[in-house]
Each structure stands twice: as C-alpha cells, then as structure tokens.
Structure 1
Amino acid sequence: MEEDLDIVQEENAEEFYERKTFIIDKGQEPMRIDKWMQARIENATRSKVQKGIEAGFLTVNGQQVKSNYKIKSGDELVWISVTNPDYSEIKPENIFLDIVYEDDAVMVINKAPNMVVHPGVGNYSGTLLNGVAYHLLQQNPQLIEEDLPRFGLVHRIDKNTTGLIVLAKTAEAASHLAKQFFNHTVIRKYLAVVWGNIEEDGGTIDANIARHERFRKMFTTYPEGDKGKNAITHYKVLQRLNYVSVVECKLETGRTHQIRVHMKSIGHTLFNDWEYGGDRILKGTIYTKYKQFVDNCFAICPRCALHAKTLGFIHPITGKELFFDSDLPHDMQQLIEKWTKYTQHKPLEE
C-alpha cells in the first residue's frame, strides 16, 4: 500500500527530542489526528498520543490542536517525541541537587563535576536524573514517566562539565522548552580554558559535527557540510595567559561535545580534555619546571575545563525571559589563578 504522507524533516536536539514533520497528501480521508499519529509512532497507545497532543508536542500548521482534530490535505504536522538510544530505567535516589531556581513548571540545577546527567550504559545510578526523579516524586508521588518523559530532561551537559541545566516539571513545560531548543532561542554561554594564545578577540565557528569515523566515542568537524549536523559556536577571548586562553563560548546550536570539538578544530583544545588530547602539553616550553607546573594544573582541575555559566529561556507558563548566571567552580577558579600568577613572571615563549 502506498504511504499517505511525506516525512520531510527529522532532527535531534541535544539527543533527547526528535522532531518529525509530516505533510498530508492529497486524497487522504479525514481522520482523527490521534488515531492517525498512533499508527505512525512505534509502540504508541492512543492514551500516550492524546497526552502528547494535550501537552503541545504536536502542532498542525504551527498551531496546537485537540485530539479530535481531523487532518486535511496539505496539513503540516510537527511531532516532538523523546528519543534516547541509551534509555534505561530511572530509579529515584536521594542525591543532593544544587537547585538554583524552582517553581511549578521548571527547575534549574547547577550540576557538579563528575556527575552523569542521565542513566545509560555503565552509569545506572548516581546520575542527576536519579536525583531529579526522587525530588519530583517527593512533591508528587503519583508522577510516572508516561506523564513526564525522562522526568523533564530536555538537554544535557557532559559528565565532567559543570554548570546550569534546566528541567521541566510538567509535560507542557517540556514541550515548550524542547521547541525553544529546536528553534535555537535558548541562551547558553560557557566558560572554558583552552590551550594556546588565541590571536583574534573573538569569532564564529560554523562546522558540521558528526561521530568520528574511526573513534566512535568521539566527534569531529566536517567543514564542507557534506556530513553531520550543522553546528555554530560564537567565542570571545576573556583572558590570555601565554600558553592558555580563557574564552566565553556562546552556543547557537547544541550538538554533543560541540564546544570541545569546535575549539579543537581551530587549534585550541580544551585544557585537560583527555578525550580530545587536552590532557598533555600542547603549548609551551620544554623545560622540566614548566612540565611540573602544568602537571600541577592538571591536578588542580582534573577534568575538562568547561563550565555552563549562563542560561536564558522563556518561561513556559508566564512567557517571561529568565536568565541565570553561576559562579565558576572552585577547581576552574584555582586553575585560572595559577596560570595568572605564572604568566606574571614568565614571558611568552614558543
């Protein structure tokens, strides 16, 4: 039987939400939209589809509709759904969360270093999401994942990256936030320490990102745009410290490892980023004292030097703009202070 639709678009935002766009062909008989969508979503029940429609995960021609809406020829349907290849059961755990803001719709958390955001292979407990599930269930013991998929997770940051992350507390808030991420309207600024003296005061990196062909846990850039997903990072130099620089990176898109991969692509790998080669001396002298100094810096900040400092978004209920700013964690503060003192007494040597 010939399919009665065209799937014209499919993309991921932060790896957790998938957006599909369908165009209804001519000659398609009028049908309730919940029934039509159920037939095209794997393992979907009518109840699940109806809850998604009610929460705003489906739009028709840019507008929300009710479950009894009947599709018409030429309708453009956009469906947003949770997708995660590393899905595993989320067990609530009483874990400390540094909650910097919370209301009935959203919560903003300042994530600690060495904390995985969500359960997956090798990390089934102790994650931020395990703690969020426990926290939300204390407020609403009846809450289940079918009502709030992934307990409101709409984006993530890497295990060793610190800083701000927003979660939804209702399905309606989750759909609203997911659309903001898809539309690139969420403001995200990171602070990083990178290897090398960046000559320009700032710039923009526009290069597609995809998995590395040989090392599947890594990502790399494809500047010609023939592979991967579009990724754009705007950077600004805040401080030059001879062999390293402190930079602010503003994300226009949100791809996995985006800042780490983009900065490496222009020759400025993040400091102590072991996955991308930043855990060895990339700039500097050959002297033993310098090597000892760098080793001490690695010990002070034993992780990739990256912090999600600023987060801004539109509140799903009030429509007001919310902005949050977080202090640098202690290890990155110490790292920058140590490099600052070092460079006051050491001239730049190449």
Structure 2
Amino acid sequence: MLEHDDLLQEENAEELYEKKTFIIDKGQEPLRIDKWMHARIENATRNKIQKGIDAGFLTVNGRAVKSNYRVKPDDKIVWITLINPEFSEIVPENIPLDFVYEDDAVMVINKPPNMVVHPGVGNYTGTLLNGVAYHLQQQNPDLNEEDLPRFGLVHRIDKNTTGLIVLAKTGEAASNLAKQFFNHTVTRKYIAVVWGNVEEDEGTIIGNIGRHERFRKMFTVYPEGDKGKHAVTHYKVLERLNYVTVVECVLETGRTHQIRVHMKSIGHTLFNDWEYGGDKILKGTVYTKYKQFVDNCFEVCPRCALHAKTLGFDHPVTDERMFFDSPLPNDMQQLIEKWERYIQFKPLPEE
C-alpha cells in the first residue's frame, strides 16, 4: 500500500500529459508547495514548477494555488505535466498551416496528411509545431525561441491522419484543455474507411490498448487484465460499399492509434493502414481486375484512410462550448467516390 506522501495514480491524456496525484503525509511540516514539488518531480527546475503552478497545472484540494502556498497534512495535490521530452527545441519554420480558428487563448488547425505534429527522433523539422512557432513569432517579433510555449500541444493525431487539432497559446489554456481531455468532455469525431462490411449499424469497442509485446512501434488490444490503458471507441456505419465501409468513430478516450487498433480488433482494419496490414486486400475477389482496382485506390489515397472531422471543447477562457468541422480531404473523398462507382457495376460481393 502506498504511503500518503507517495504517488497515488498516473493517467495519460492523448499520451502527452501525465496526471500525478499526491496526498501530503500527516507528519508534514508547512512548506512552500513549489519547494515540496521540486523535491519530487524529477528533472524539473523550481522555476518551471513555479510557472506550471502559476498556469494552473497544479491544484490543491481541487483549487488552484500560488507558489507560496504551504502544504498541510492530508492535502490532495494534483499535478499535470507534459511527459514528452523529445521536443525541447522547436525551431520556427515558415510552413503554411490551415488555421480554422484562432484567438488569444487557442488555435484550431486542420492538419494535412504526411505531417508530423511535433519534433522527435527522425522528424526534427517540418512538423506542425515548427510551423506554429513561426506563426507565433510573426505575431510577436520580440518572442525568442526560449519563450515559445512548450505547453501548446494538448493532444495529437498521427502523421498520416488528417483533420482538426487544438493547441493552447497560454499555460492557463493548456491546463484547462488538458483537464477537459482527462475528464473526457472533448468531442472528437473521425471518419474512416475500413476493410469489410461492418455488420452492426453502430457499436462500442471497449478494450485496453498498449504497446505490442513483439512489435514495439505498434499497439494492440488487451481485453483482460492489467495490460494497456482503458480505451473506448463508439462507431456508426455511414455507408456500406461491399468490401469496405465508411464509418464514423467517436473517441471517449484518447490512446495512441486507438481507432486503428480498435477497428482492427473487430476485424475491420483501416484501409491502406500499412502498419496494421490495411495496405493489402483483406476483402474481395481474387480476380486481376479487382486487384488492379484496389491498387488504384491505394494510389488515390496513399495513406491510412482516417480524418479527424469534428472537434468540440469548452473555451478555456469564456467556457463557451465550441464546435469545429472540417470537410473530408480530397484523397479520402476520391477514394469513397471510386468505391461508389465500382459497386454500381459490382453490386453484390463476389467471394
């Protein structure tokens, strides 16, 4: 059993932020909270902890406090911190970005395919955050690289997934949005094209998601036990196209590769998802003409057919509920139209 002064729980929101909960020991003498946290958060300077406290990333008994607050026995401390150390340096780059919305607190961007969200191993330049850093410098020429916000990213989508992503422009906004992701109050609807005819018109997939034990870059579903993290995906069929189905997926949780892994777990791998086997013919005929047709579809949409279409959240300053919607990108639209034309001539599956 953990003692009061120990870490009680850790959770991840979109695998970017970590929430740590502490209970102050009964014998604890009054001590400034920034000093108390500094002794317990590895590789964090006291200055960074103070900035995090000021931005609202820390609460005591459910309330924000100042850095000079003195801890008391049985205080419950919740600390939200960015856990991705990969992108400590963000070099501003003039990268065109599709801004759907922007104000002083948040920005919503429609991400194109083949763009990594943040710098990391093998992708130090050309990312969405590199473009955001440049955009912020254009707004404020006096802003230097050290002042560029590291907390702006509160969730992410895969390199080849298109669609909406929200970023915070202040620490307070980041803290607020991160809590919304933790509390599952953010609305996220995706459109996907999956292999096979999804039998049920709608359904819910529940299954822990964790890294694959053999292939560490992949994730898998662990139906039982303590492996992985709890994940819930709701789906609804939008259009049946014989060998493929267009579905809407609503995320209740936000795990890495969640839709891709959950849909594969029920036998409906995303179309052209090469990491999970969707770049092969998984349903259909053995005829050469059909194979050529599918190859042409792969060329039309040369990526995993997944689009983050709808995003809804409470504005971190005004509390107004905001919804954003983005149209299907051309490659997915063309892919769906190509299948629609195909089934006009092949109305029944030829197994």
TM-score above 0.5, yes or no: yes
Q: Which runs of 5+ in 1 are unaligned?
A: none
SS state of the match for residue 150, structure 2? helix
Paired position in structure 1 for 2:40? 40
Cα distance, 1:170 vs structure 2: 0.6
Paired position in structure 2 for 1:121? 121
**Offset from partner CA, 1:77-98 (integer Å, 9 cap, x none):** 0001111153352100000000
C-alpha distance in 1 between matches for 2:82 and 2:170: 14
Bigger shift: 66-75 or 155-164?
A: 66-75
Paired position in structure 1 for 2:221? 221
Bigger shift: 214-223 or 141-150?
A: 141-150
Paired position in structure 2 for 1:14? 14
**Offset from partner CA, 1:138-175 (integer Å, 9 cap, x none):** 22244467666425111110000000000001111011
Paired position in structure 1 for 2:174? 174
C-alpha distance in 1 between matches for 2:145 and 2:207: 36
C-alpha distance in 2 between matches for 1:209 and 1:340: 33
Paired position in structure 1 for 2:301? 301
AA at the equivalent of 1:139 = Q
C-alpha distance in 1 between matches for 2:74 and 2:146: 31
Bigger shift: 146-155 or 119-128?
A: 146-155
**Offset from partner CA, 1:39-96 (integer Å, 9 cap, x none):** 1122333322221111100001111111121111111100011111533521000000
Paired position in structure 2 for 1:259? 259
Paired position in structure 1 for 2:90? 90
**Offset from partner CA, 1:272-320 (integer Å, 9 cap, x none):** 0000000000000111111011000000000000000000000000010
SS state of the match for residue 255, structure 1? coil
Paired position in structure 2 for 1:349? 350
C-alpha distance in 1 between matches for 2:246 and 2:62: 41
CA distance 1:18–1:148, shift in 2 (3 Å): farther
* Equivalent pair of 2:35/2:46 in contact (CA under 8 Å): yes
CA distance 1:124–1:166, shift in 2 (3 Å): same
The within-5 A match list for 1:328-347 is: 328-346=328-346, 347=348
* Equivalent pair of 1:160/1:303 in contact (CA under 8 Å): yes
* Equivalent pair of 2:91/2:145 in contact (CA under 8 Å): no
* Equivalent pair of 2:151/2:174 in contact (CA under 8 Å): no
CA distance 1:66–1:151, shift in 2 (3 Å): closer
Paired position in structure 2 for 1:58? 58
AA at the equivalent of 1:327 = P
* Equivalent pair of 1:148/1:169 in contact (CA under 8 Å): no
CA distance 1:145–1:318, shift in 2 (3 Å): farther
C-alpha distance in 1 between matches for 2:253 and 2:349: 35
Query: Is 1:157–2:169 an aligned residue pair?
Result: no
Paired position in structure 2 for 1:320? 320
Bigger shift: 76-85 or 147-156?
A: 147-156
Bigger shift: 33-42 or 17-26?
A: 33-42
TM score, norm. by length of structure 1? 0.97
* Equivalent pair of 1:88/1:124 in contact (CA under 8 Å): no
C-alpha distance in 1 between matches for 2:318 and 2:4: 39
C-alpha distance in 2 between matches for 1:241 and 1:256: 28
C-alpha distance in 2 between matches for 1:278 and 1:94: 34
TM score, norm. by length of structure 2? 0.96
* Equivalent pair of 1:82/1:149 in contact (CA under 8 Å): no
The within-5 A match list for 1:62-73 is: 62-73=62-73
AA at the equivalent of 1:213 = E
Paired position in structure 1 for 2:133? 133
* Equivalent pair of 2:188/2:308 in contact (CA under 8 Å): yes
Paired position in structure 1 for 2:245? 245
CA distance 1:128–1:49, shift in 2 (3 Å): same
SS state of the match for residue 150, structure 1? coil
C-alpha distance in 2 between matches for 1:145 and 1:63: 32
Cα distance, 1:3 vs structure 2: 7.9
Q: Which runs of 5+ in 2 are unaligned?
A: none
* Equivalent pair of 2:4/2:22 in contact (CA under 8 Å): no
SS state of the match for residue 164, structure 1? strand
Bigger shift: 12-21 or 278-287?
A: 12-21
* Equivalent pair of 2:297/2:335 in contact (CA under 8 Å): yes
* Equivalent pair of 1:309/1:326 in contact (CA under 8 Å): yes
AA at the equivalent of 1:230 = H
Cα distance, 1:225 vs structure 2: 3.6
